[in-house]
């Protein structure tokens, strides 16, 4: 399935499997108000976003599936958690091309749990 975004609001649990995220001016994955989004596999980012994933107000995102980015994309930030919310990455690899505006290169990057990244990967906000 191709979509600009997946949103869970007010006590929703959404399992995301085989989704291609397209270009959007907002969030690719947005969990709000005691909701949960689970990446189950087959996640491909085809377009950029202001923020790839955001959890707020007692929400949770489990991004424990590998994420592929086959073409250059741009993010304001990759992940943001606020107001008693969490984003779990575990042992996830983000592979593909990142565009920071200055250079384009392929990278294989292990994503640490809620820490800032450097180089071509946008930071956790």
Domain boundaries, given as residue ranges, for the chain: 2-103
Starting at the edge strand found earlier in the chain, the sheet holding 86-88 runs 13-17, 36-41, 60-62, 86-88
Q: What is the pLDDT of residues 49-83, one digit of tens each?
A: 988 999 999 999 998 888 888 888 888 888 888 88
The CB-side HSE value for 69 (13 A sphere, CA atoms) comes to: 25
Prediction pTM value = 0.76
Burial class (CB in 10 A: 0-12, 13-18, 19+), 79: buried
pLDDT, one tens digit per residue, over 83-120 is 888 888 777 777 776 544 433 333 333 343 333 333 34
């Amino acid at each position: 399935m191709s979509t600009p975004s997946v949103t869970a609001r007010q006590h929703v649990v959404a399992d995301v499997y085989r989704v291609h995220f397209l270009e959007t001016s907002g969030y690719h994955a947005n969990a709000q108000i005691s909701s949960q989004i689970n990446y189950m596999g087959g996640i491909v980012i085809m377009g950029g976003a202001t923020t790839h994933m955001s959890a707020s107000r007692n929400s949770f995102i489990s991004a424990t599936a590998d994420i592929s980015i086959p073409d250059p994309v741009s993010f304001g930030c990759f992940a943001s958690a606020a107001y008693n919310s969490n984003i779990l990455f575990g042992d996830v690899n983000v592979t593909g091309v990142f565009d920071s505006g200055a250079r384009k290169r392929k990278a294989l990057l292990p994503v640490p749990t809620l820490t800032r990244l450097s180089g071509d990967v946008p930071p956790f906000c």
